[in-house]
Amino acid sequence: MSRKEIERRHHKTLEGLKHFTENDTEFWFARDLQVALDYSSWDKFKRVILKAISACKNSGQEPGNHFSQVGKMVKLGSGSQREIEDYQLSRYACYLIVQNGDPSKPVIANGQTYFAIQTRRQELADDEAFQRLKEDEKRLFLRNEMKEHNKNLVEAAQQAGVESNLDFAIFQNHGYKGLYGGLDAKSIHARKGLKKSQQILDNMGSTELAANLFRATQTEEKLRRENIRGKNKANTTHFEVGKKVRQTIEELGGTMPEDLPTPDEDLKKLERRTKAQKKLESNHD
């Protein structure tokens, strides 16, 4: 089965497992997702759930809004019933679980990138507060997420053997080259027509930032999950993850990151203007 076929099956399976509360809020049962993601053992799958809950906390979200522990009655062979542990999951919780899943499983390895990008996109689409944000506000939101996840990526890279500043610059360039079709940071900087003092990430639109955020989170997880050691292996991992994100964007018919427009305003300027505006509004209250 090709990657595209597995991705389509995975997406359809997820939507087919969806339930709704009395208030028409969508949710999924973890036990159903366990089967869809090819986990035979609940204990192993629960470890993935706990990692996802931890990731939820680290992202500043309240886990209780996305992971609700419930009991579920199942029939035994004798005809009697027994209550088993289960979770009701939001779409964002499903996203985090797949993100932290075992890449050796084909349904995750081939469907993970597609599912996570689609789910994150849907999560933001369902978030009324996020939808009320203008493009510049979305950029600020995603850039702040990027800052937090880059810290985690630095830590994971250091544990893999990426030690000096030069090592990390080379490591970062491998990720960019995978995502940007061979372009390194210097080439991207030049392509955007930026000044020497301007940073690439501060001059990306929300779509480009989202792709880079996913590249960073997936690389960090892969480095930790596969216990990758050695600078060369870490660099290769970053390149491969970036390339896979690029392949997914292409398969979805999206615009390649290097072809996305550069916003008119640098986020550093935007942040200063936003803070000044809030201060002004505060003084008027």
Question: Contact, 220 vs 227, CB < 8 A?
Answer: no
pLDDT, mean of residues 192-215? 92
Cα–Cα separations (whole angstroms), residue 253 to 18, 208, 233, 249, 276: 26, 14, 30, 6, 39
Q: Is residue 149 a contact partner of residue 209, using CB atoms and an 8 Å limit? A: no
pLDDT exceeds 80 at position 134 = no
Q: Which residue has the tokens 């339930």?
A: 19
Q: Which residue has the higher pLDDT, 82 or 235?
A: 235
Segment among 130-144, 177-191, 199-213 with least mean pLDDT = 130-144
Average pLDDT, the chain: 83
Buried b (16+ CB within 10 A) or exposed e, 130-150: eeeeeebebbbbbbebbeebb
Per-residue pLDDT of 30-64, as tens digits, reads 999 888 888 989 999 999 999 999 988 887 788 99
d(CA 208, CA 68): 33
Phi, psi torsion values for 70, nearest 5 degrees: -140, 165
CA distance 50 to 45: 9
Largest CA distance in the chain: 73
d(CA 52, CA 26) in angstroms, rounded, equals 19
Instruction: State how far the Cα of 219 lies from the Cα of 221, in Å rounded to an integer.
Output: 5
How much is the pTM? 0.57
pLDDT above 50 (res 254): yes
Per-residue pLDDT at 24 exceeds 70: yes
Per-residue pLDDT tens over the stretch 61-120: 889 999 999 987 767 666 677 788 999 999 888 888 887 887 777 766 555 555 555 555
Cβ atoms of 249 and 211 within 8 Å: the answer is yes
Has residue 202 got a pLDDT over 90?
yes
